[in-house]
Amino acid sequence: MKIIVCVKQVPATNEVKMDPVTNTIIREGVESILNPFDTYAIEEAIRIKEKQGAQITALSMGIPSVVTLLQEAVSLGVDDAILLSDRAFAGADTMATAYTLQLGVESIGDYDLILCGKMATDGDTAQVGPMLAEVLGIPQITDVGEILEIGTDFILCRRMTDDGYETVKSKLPAVITVTKEINIPRLPSIAGMKRGKAAKVPVMTSKDFQLEAERIGLSGSPTQVVRTFIPSHDIASEVLTGSPTEQAEALIEKLREQKLLNW
């Protein structure tokens, strides 16, 4: 079976600090890491490989230094990796990203399963997985917490919903997005790290594809960010003091005033 794992580089911290004087964002020493949700996708792919055999390719779109993160994926047990990197891809929103990944997937050719993290921790959109499935014309199962069975042409998963869990069966090939419930990612072995370091990661640019130029990068992105700002949590906070009895009394009184109690 052939598996493609889509991964993204994100900042190690999503803390955003504001310089109170200049009113601008401070981002000192931003280290980059593999999106945490994607590490679960990689781990799951490796588990499938160990259980029933698979060829795993990691795929990412990003800046040239993402090669190092893809080597990290190889050190964990991924067989090979491809980076899509070009200034022309920069500024892509989720739609342009999905299209660019589609090009990458199609260049790999044959595949049975595409694994993605549920979302990336910088954008938090959770949109690229389902969009990729749609542009490829294949089904998807999102928020998967457990893969129950993989047959020759189907996959059976347990997915989380707002109301509980569903067991869902999909034909293959399919896109599966995974939650952190699915496994505990391993650390690379020493041999793995050597293999990762030695791994050659091909970098593909826009020139390597016959693509629709109006669907990539900033100008190919339907959505545009018009402004960003740090949210203020300026809340008129009221401290309810006293003994536990008095605190409880005060709270019930407040909730009643706000009509937040049903009686």
By the rule CB under 8 A, 235 interacts with another protein: yes
By the rule CB under 8 A, 217 interacts with another protein: yes
CB 166 → another protein: shortest distance, Å? Answer: 5
Span 18-57, contacts to another protein by CB under 8 A: 19, 22, 24-28, 30, 36-37
Name the residue nearer to another protein (CB basis): 91 or 192: 91
Contacting residue, 4, 69, 130, 152, with another protein by CB under 8 A: 130
Tokens describing residue 91: 């500024």
Q: How many residues contact another protein, by CB under 8 A?
A: 103
Question: What sign does the CA torsion over 216, 94, 136, 176 have?
Answer: positive
Cα 193 → chain centroid: 23
3-state DSSP assignment of residue 135: helix
Span 176-195, contacts to another protein by CB under 8 A: 179-181
Contacting residue, 47, 49, 55, 63, with another protein by CB under 8 A: 63
Q: What is the DSSP letter of 89?
A: G
Name the residue nearer to another protein (CB basis): 59 or 96: 96
**Which of 72, 60, 143 has its CA nearest to residue 105?**
60
Stretch that binds another protein, among 52-60, 75-83, 168-176, 187-195 (CB under 8 A): 168-176
Between the alpha carbon of residue 107 and those of residues 10, 26, 110, 136, 240, the distances in Å are 24, 39, 9, 12, 62
Please give the Cα distance from 256 to 172 (Å, whole number): 54
CB 39 → another protein: shortest distance, Å? Answer: 12
Tokens describing residue 35: 């999106």
By the rule CB under 8 A, 152 interacts with another protein: no
CB 61 → another protein: shortest distance, Å? Answer: 12
Unique residue bearing structure tokens 């016959």: 210
By the rule CB under 8 A, 164 interacts with another protein: yes
**Which of 55, 60, 35, 33 has its CA nearest to residue 45?**
55
- Provide the pairing of β-strand 17-19 with 24-26: antiparallel
Name the residue nearer to another protein (CB basis): 161 or 189: 161
Q: How many CA atoms lie within 13 A of 21 on its CB side?
A: 0
By the rule CB under 8 A, 68 interacts with another protein: no
- The pattern of x and - marking residues 1 through 20 that bind another protein according to CB under 8 A reads ----------x--xxx--x-
Span 90-129, contacts to another protein by CB under 8 A: 90-91, 93-95, 98, 121-129
Please give the Cα distance from 207 to 262 (Å, whole number): 63
Contacting residue, 50, 106, 161, 194, with another protein by CB under 8 A: 161
Tokens describing residue 23: 């009113």
